[in-house]
């Protein structure tokens, strides 16, 4: 490995828009994120499941008159 070519890693706080702070290593001075595991709908259990089959049926029903 070559010496003195790698950036310096330092401990920084990664701050989410919801206010959660996480300590991590980075080459950046500060990290701001929009969403984290504490506020993401997938991890909080508030995720909306899409009904793809219902959408297909709705599309077929809507455009059934144009196919005849």
- Hey, which residues does 25 pair with through a beta bridge? 11
* CA–CA–CA angle 28, 29, 33 (5° rounding): 75
| Residue (of 28, 22, 21) closest to 7 by Cα position | 28
Q: Report the pLDDT value the prediction gives residue 52, as an integer from 0 to 100.
A: 62
Mean per-residue pLDDT for 20-28? 92
Q: Report the pLDDT value the prediction gives residue 33, as an integer from 0 to 100.
A: 87
CATH (one of 3.40.50.300, 4.10.80.400, 3.40.50.2000, 3.90.480.20) for 10-67 = 4.10.80.400
Q: Report the pLDDT value the prediction gives residue 47, as an integer from 0 to 100.
A: 61
pTM: 0.51
Q: Report the pLDDT value the prediction gives residue 19, as an integer from 0 to 100.
A: 87
Query: pLDDT digits over 32-63, tens only?
Result: 988 887 787 666 676 665 656 677 778 888 88
Rounded to whole angstroms, how far apart are CA atoms 55 and 46?
21
pLDDT of 26 higher than 90: yes
């Amino acid at each position: 490995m070559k010496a003195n070519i790698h950036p310096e890693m330092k401990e920084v706080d990664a701050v989410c828009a919801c206010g959660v702070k996480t300590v991590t290593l980075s080459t950046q001075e500060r990290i701001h994120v929009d969403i984290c595991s504490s506020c993401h709908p997938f991890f909080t259990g508030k995720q909306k499941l899409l009904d793809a089959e219902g959408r297909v049926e709705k599309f077929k029903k809507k455009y059934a008159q144009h196919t005849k």
